[in-house]
Chains A and B, each alone.
Chain A
Amino acid sequence: MKLRIVVDPGLCIGAASCVTIAPDTFVMNTENKAEVIDHGATPDAPSYERIVDVTEDELQNIILGAQSCPTLAITVVDLDTGAQLYPTP
């Protein structure tokens, strides 16, 4: 399934809990903000937003990573259905 994963750098405080839980999807940059990566890789330029293709298991872990954010800085949208998976609207 395809996900759009977005980090709001204005909200991110660099707690890095997402990086701890989902290190294949999130990485800290030099500004102490989380960026989105694709299965551990950074295709194109570093970005706060990325579309990634994931399995069901990977999805669960990415949701856990997003849920761990103390500032709700991470949004996950299922592009197949258009539904926002986190934060639940």
Chain B
Amino acid sequence: MENIVILGGGIAGTTAAEELRKKNADVAITILEQEHHPLYSRVLLPHYVKGKIPREKVFLKSWEWYSSNRIELMVGVRAEGIDILNRFVKTSEGRELPFDVLILAGGGELNVIGGEPRGVSYLRGIDDADELASLLKETLMRPQDERRGVVYGSGFIALEYINIFKHFGISCDVVMRGSGFWSSTLSAHSQEVLAKKAIDGGVLLHINETEPTILGEREVTGVRLSSGAEIPCSMMGVGIGMHPDQSYYRDCGIEIDRGIVVNEYLETSHASVYAIGDAAQFFDGNVGRKVVYGNWMNAQSQGRAVAKTIFGERAPFNLVSSYATHLFDMHIVFIGDVDRKAVDEVRQVAATESASVEEFYRGGKIVGAVLIGDISSRATITARIAGRE
């Protein structure tokens, strides 16, 4: 083995590179990364935007780290195609990078509205966070009654925007395509608990708005709802999900479903080609089916696991991963497989005005859970999903 090529320099790909280097001093390791930065933590972006940490603290690796570990980081470069038979990756620079081992570790692409005026922001990468930070500064220079933000979305990123607007005392209207927060995942009660928390915090919710119109030519001035009502705003945050970028591997012969299909060892059907992190649809033995998870813990752990597999320490990937967030001071935790369409039964095990706990079951076994407002059962549910209790 001479060349390992990793497509994607996020936490999954970079962890893989780090662990591979620990195990082998000689193999050439190359990471292709579309963005122009060394590894940083997307999870820290809200902290940075709120001014809780300086920008440099967002970065988890320095440029020197790559050179001292002899990991070649090619930034601003995309894969354009993969030739599995002849073992090379075609890059956006027109190069053909040979590989003996290939690790697909790409993230997703943002769903965007497109053609939006200035003031409309997204929160995916550090470049987005920089833009959001400057938009916030501009809004905060306005008189208090003109500091108005609109959030479009109802998931994790929408919550980050709500928390950010609240932090800066900017008024907040949330426009949702569905009936509430995570309307395809959560029970009606869970949605009610979150809606109440938001409304009590001064947020206005507008539900079932599938096609809001963004107003303003060069700068955003407001949003028009289906009723014709207009919400004025000086900035808007959009979080309407992601989709996998399959453009460069769609035709290379590997199996694709909702992600790149791999087994419990993170191996594709082609020898020495692996997929990890957000891109991978892997067999999760704890939940008994192939899943795609888009969380940090899963991505990082798979980076570590694939390095072991590549150097012969082959063991099934085993992790009950979770994703934690908050709405103001209300804690929210998603654990394991919470795809409502893929389970047999969802049990509402706690339902109060300020808390909701749902457990997801398949074949009589617990495979996932959502905890809102009461996270005291987090550890025991995690252990039950793992089959330890």
Contact = CB atoms under 8 A, between A and B. Distances in A.
19 contacts: A11-B52, A13-B43, A13-B325, A13-B326, A14-B331, A15-B324, A17-B296, A19-B379, A20-B297, A20-B321, A27-B379, A28-B375, A28-B378, A28-B379, A32-B333, A70-B44, A70-B296, A71-B44, A71-B47
Interface in B52-68: 52-53, 57, 60
A10 B50 CA distance: 12
B378 A17 contact: no
B57 A72 contact: yes
Interface string A1-44: 00000000011011111011000000110111000000000000
B15 to A, nearest CB: 9
B43 A20 contact: no
B263 interface: no
B376 A30 contact: yes
Contact of B375 (A17, A20, A32): A32
A15 B297 contact: yes
A11 B52 CA distance: 8
A16 B57 CA distance: 20
Given A15-B43, A32-B324, A72-B57, A10 B378 contact: no
Given A10-B52, A13-B324, A14-B331, A68 B297 contact: yes
Main secondary structure of the interface of B (DSSP, over half): mixed
A66 to B, nearest CB: 12
A32 B375 CA distance: 7
B140 interface: no
B256 interface: no
A16 B333 CA distance: 10
Contact of A17 (B44, B52, B60, B297): B297
4 shortest interchain CB distances as A-B pairs: A70-B43, A14-B324, A32-B331, A17-B297
A16 B332 CA distance: 13
Interface of A: 10-11, 13-17, 19-20, 27-28, 30-32, 68, 70-72
Contact of A16 (B52, B53, B378): B378
Contact of A11 (B47, B325, B379): B47
A16 B326 CA distance: 14
Contacts of A13: 43, 324-326
Sorting the interface of chain B by its residue count into under 10, 10 to 19, 20 to 34 or 35 or more gives 20 to 34
B300 interface: yes
Interface centre among B41, B52, B301, B331, by most A CB within 10 Å? B331
A70 B59 CA distance: 11
B319 interface: yes
A71 B324 contact: no
A16 B43 CA distance: 13
Interface string B322-347: 11111000010100000000000000
Nearest to B322: A16
Interface in B34-84: 41-44, 47, 52-53, 57, 60
Nearest to B62: A88
A27 B376 CA distance: 12
Contacts of B322: 15-16
A14 B47 contact: no
A28 B333 CA distance: 12
Interface string B357-389: 000000000000000000110110000000000
A26 B319 CA distance: 17
Contacts of A11: 47, 52-53
A16 B44 contact: no
B300 A17 contact: yes
Given A30-B376, A32-B333, 16 more contacts: A11-B52, A13-B43, A14-B375, A15-B296, A15-B322, A15-B324, A16-B378, A17-B300, A17-B301, A19-B379, A20-B321, A28-B375, A32-B375, A70-B41, A70-B296, A72-B57
Contact of A72 (B41, B319, B320, B379): B41
Contacts of B301: 17, 68
Contacts of B326: 13-14, 32
Contacts of A17: 296-297, 300-301
B72 to A, nearest CB: 21
Which interface residue of B320, B323, B325, B375 has the most chain A CB atoms within 10 A?
B375
B352 to A, nearest CB: 16
